Structure formats: C-alpha cells, structure tokens
Amino acid sequence: MQKLEKLQFIKNVGSNWIALATDVLVGFFLSPFILHRLGDAAFGIWVLIFSITGYYGLFDLGIRSSLVRYVSKAKATGDMEYATRVINTSLFSYTCIGTFAFLITIALSASVDSLFHIDPQFHNTARWLLLMVGSAVSLGFPLGISGGVLEGLQRFDVASLTRIVQTLLKAVLIVFFLTRGFGLLTVAFITVTLPILSALVCSVIALRILPVRIGLSYVDRETFREIARYSGVMLIMIISGRLRFRTDAIVIGTFLSSVAITYFNIGARIVDYAGEVVEGLAQLFVPMSSHSEATGNVNRLRLILIAGNRFCAFIIFPLCALLVILGKSVIEVWVGKRYVAQSYPVLLLMLIPSTLMLSQLASGRLLVGSGKHRTWAVMTLVEGVANLVLSILLVRPYGIIGDALGTAIPLSATAIFFLPAHVCRKVQVSLGFFLRQAYTLPLVLCAPLIVTLLLMKRWFVPHTYLQLLAHVTIAAAVYGLALSWAFVSRRALRVGQLQTSPDEAALAAAAVETYQQDI
C-alpha cells in the first residue's frame, strides 16, 4: 500500500510539473502571436475582460478548498454517504453562485464600454466578449466540482492530463483561426469553450472513481454549515489574492486606456511565468504541513519552513537575476523592441517584490496547511486594499509605472516586515537563524550565474531567440553545476541544529531523516 501511495505521489508531482511547463511554454509563445495578430488595443481589451471576470472567483467563497478537504476526509474514512452530501451540497451552492454570476454578466456587458476607456470601434466587441467570457465562467462554477473532487481523491494526474490536452488544443486552434483572418471573439470562444469540455470529461472520470449519487435530496443544511465554517478564512485569502494581483488591468483600463494595459501586461506576465514555476513546488508543502500539525511534530514544521523556502529560493533567485540582467532582451525577443521602454520598468518593479514573496512561498503554505493562517489572511487583505488605493492614487500622475509601484510597495512591506517574523513566531524559530539557513546558500549559488550573465552581456547583447538561448544555456549550465555541488555535498538538504529541548531533539533528528527521505 505504501508503495502504491508513493507511486501516486510521484505521478501527481510529475504530471503537475509537465502541465505547468506546457502552460508556460505555450503561453510564452502564443501571447506574442495573439498580440501581433490582434493589435495593442484589442489585446488590451482581451486582458481587461479576463481581469474583470477573474473577480468572479470571489464568488467561490472558499467552497472549493472545503470540497477538497472533506472529499479527502471521506476517502480516508470510506464514508460514501458523507462524500455524497458534501458533493451535492457543494454542487447546489455552486449552481446558485453560477446563476448569480450570469445575471451580473448580463448587467456588466451592457455598460462595459461606459465604465472603461475603450476605443469606440471596439465597444460592441467588448460587450460580446464580456458576455461570452462571463457566461463561461458562470457555467464553470458547477462544472468545477469535478476538479475539486479529483484533488480530494489525490488524482492530480487526471486533472493535469486534461489540462495538458486542453492547453495544446487551444494553441493549435487559436493559431489556425488567427492565421485565417478570424479575430478577438473567435479566440475568446476557443479559450472559454475548451475548459468547459475539459470539466465535463473530468466530471465523468470523477464519478467513475467516486460513484456518488447526484440529486437535490442529498443537499444537507448541516453539511453546508460545516463547509461555510472552514471556507470563511479561505474566502479572505481569495479576496486578498484578487486585490493583490488582479486589479492592475482594471485600474489602468479605468484611468488610462486598453493600449496601456497591453504594455503593463507584458512586463507583469513575465513575472507571473516565473512565479508559476515556484507555485508548482510550493503546493506540496500544504499537505506536508497538515500532516506535521496533525501529529504534533513541530520540528518537522520548522524543517519545512527552512528547507521549503530554501528550495523556493533555489528556483526564483536565478530567475530574478536572469530577468533583471536580460529582461530587455527577453521583451524584445518575445513581443518586439518597441515594447521594451515601457514594459521593462514594469518588469523590474513587479519582479523584485515578487521575488521577495515567492522566496517565502513555503511560509504561506505552511501557515495554511497547519491551520495558522488567520492572521496571515487578514494581513494579505490589508495589503490588497493598500495595493488598490496606491495604484489608483499613482496611476494618473505616473501611468503604468505608478500602478506597478502601487503593487510593489505594499507587497515589499509584507514580504520584508511581516511574513518572516510572523511565521518564525508561529513555529518558534529565531528569525536570524531562519534567514541564514534558508537564504545564504541560494544567494551564494547565484553569484557565479550573475557573473556569467554580466560577462556574456559585455560580449554581446542578445536580440534574437538564438542569441538569448545561448546566454540562458550557458548561465543555466553554470548554475546547474553549482546546484549539483550543493546536492551532492548534501548542503542543499542540510539544516543547522534547531534550538530544542532534550525531548524535542530526538524528534528533530527523526524529522530530519523523514524530510530527507521525502526530498
């Protein structure tokens, strides 16, 4: 049984990384293709509409997190009746939410051209685009039940496979139709239809794995209360996430123009790609933290804090160095030289604070997994409100740079002054010890990479994909050698002696051994 569980874990992690790589690669090459085919104004409207409908995610109310938790619990106990109640209650709730979201879509689509600075020639297109995307998102609420069920059953491999197929098919269809003269609405139709079909496939698979009965008679009021109690804090974090990272296009579209959204999105999207790579690793720390908290193994939580953030830093530090040094070349090669002047400053302003936060991604996951995330949720909400207020205040005098500053300032403050000290207090680790143990080695390993990139740039500045690939390949080889040395010498896995009581020392030793086996 343990062997089967380990095999499933490897399948889950592997399939998730492959799906992530597919998303990043397809998005990286497809985005400039769409941009140049549609034009700056139309592409900006595309980003704006998807940003608006992205706020529909607030209507989730944390139900998906509850669904994952309680389906997993039902699987562990073999309680099919409980699983039936949870799934049907969640499905009924999501159907009501989807209906409400559809009504909002109809209202917004009638006035979107008056709410935002949109070129008159795109007024009709913007209305239809919002109606199409909003309707698909509304339908996605009840259909999204299948994804939560699969996660609760720990069948990430199924969800990842459908995601890979969906991403590749979307790329092929968009390229096919854009090269034949079709426009923005066709691209949107492809983009919103494929996730619906994917959700239908996942629904069939989920019901085969967990054959529960579906019907109104299984909707349960007490189960709804149980879901609501757990999802309350998660809702705060959902709202915070939207305010922190999904307000920029709306603010820029309200006070500037859809073209300005395009320039901002180019710099910000590159940072998003870097963040997605770290996210793929960090999600593993939630169940690890939950298990440690449930067994009372505080020392293992401390090890997850230090080693988890160290591993996040291993990924984001070199990406940050590469984008700071070669960011202009990346933008030029990706979308064209004319975007560099405005998009590169956005890239820098978003990249530095994002790196500070992404290098601590294990901290946030540990707080969520161990149930210690209430204060963290409130703090991120405060940060999100500050982000929105500052962005509105700064966007008029400073344009898209002002909006980027509105995001960067509160994000930096949270990452520097709150999160490290807060999580160290929660697991009772010295702040200085944590910072030294988590980040000294990643910073040292990045030094040869930075020197290599600077020397290569003095030799020649890349202006083509091939030249950029040469820089990245050589730099990656240097960093790969440094990272290999760290793992071969076991320095990457080594954590200094934690300050513990005699009873905790034995537990700490066992935790180190278990941690190294997990890695």
Residue 218 is given by DSSP the state G
Residues 6+ apart with CB under 8 A from 210: 71, 75, 83, 87, 149, 153
Q: Compute the average pLDDT of residues 210-214.
A: 79
Residue 145: pLDDT band with limits 50, 70, 90: confident
By CB atoms closer than 10 A (0-12, 13-18, 19+), residue 453 is: buried
CB 253 within 8 A of CB 62: no
- Give the least confident one: 27-31, 378-382, 494-498: 494-498
Q: Which amino acid is at 475?
A: A
Least confident of 164-178, 439-453, 505-519: 505-519
Write down the pLDDT at residue 478.
Answer: 94
* pLDDT top residue among 432 and 184: 432
- Would you say 235 and 371 are in contact if contact means Cβ atoms under 8 Å apart? no
Residue 175 CA from chain centroid, whole number: 26
Enter the tokens of residue 335: 């979308």
Counting DSSP H helices and E strands in the chain, the numbers are 21, 0
User: What pLDDT sits at residue 1?
Assistant: 41
pLDDT (tens digit per residue) in 456-472: 988 889 998 899 999 99
70 vs 294 pLDDT, higher one = 70
Averaged pLDDT score across all residues of the chain: 80
Helix (H, G, I), strand (E, B) or coil at 79: coil
- The two three-digit tokens of residue 287, written as one number: 């169940």
Q: For the beta carbon of residue 257, count every other beta carbon within 10 angstroms.
A: 17
Distances (CA, A) of 465 to 330, 475, 495: 9, 15, 40
Q: What is the 3-state secondary structure (H, E, C) of 387-427?
A: HHHHHHHHHHHHHHHHHHHHHHHHHHHHHHHHHHHHHHHHH
37-52: pLDDT as tens digits: 777 777 777 777 777 7
Predicted pLDDT of residue 440: 93
pLDDT of residue 73: 65
> pLDDT digit string (tens) for 312-371?
999 899 999 999 999 999 999 888 888 899 999 999 999 999 999 999 998 988 887 777
More confident of the two residues 499 and 69: 69
DSSP string, 268-330: HHHHHHHHHHHHHHHTTHHHHHHHHHHTT-HHHHHHHHHHHHHHHHHHHHHHHHHHHHHHHHH
The number of C-alpha atoms within 13 Å of 22 and in the hemisphere containing its C-beta is 18
Domain chopping of the chain, boundaries: 1-232, 247-519
In the numeric block, which tokens belong to residue 331? 């933008």
Q: What is the pTM of this model?
A: 0.70
One-letter identity of residue 19:
A
pLDDT of residue 511: 43
pLDDT at 503 over 50: no
Q: 62 or 202, which is more confident? A: 202
Kindly list the distances between the CA atom of residue 401 and the CA atoms of 109, 264, 323, 411, in Å, as whole numbers in the listed order.
29, 8, 18, 15
The band of 135, judged by pLDDT with boundaries at 50, 70 and 90, is: confident
Between 109-113, 124-128, 186-190, the lowest mean confidence (pLDDT) is in: 109-113
Euclidean distance between CA atoms 457 and 228, whole angstroms: 55
C-alpha torsion 369→4→214→96, nearest 10: 30
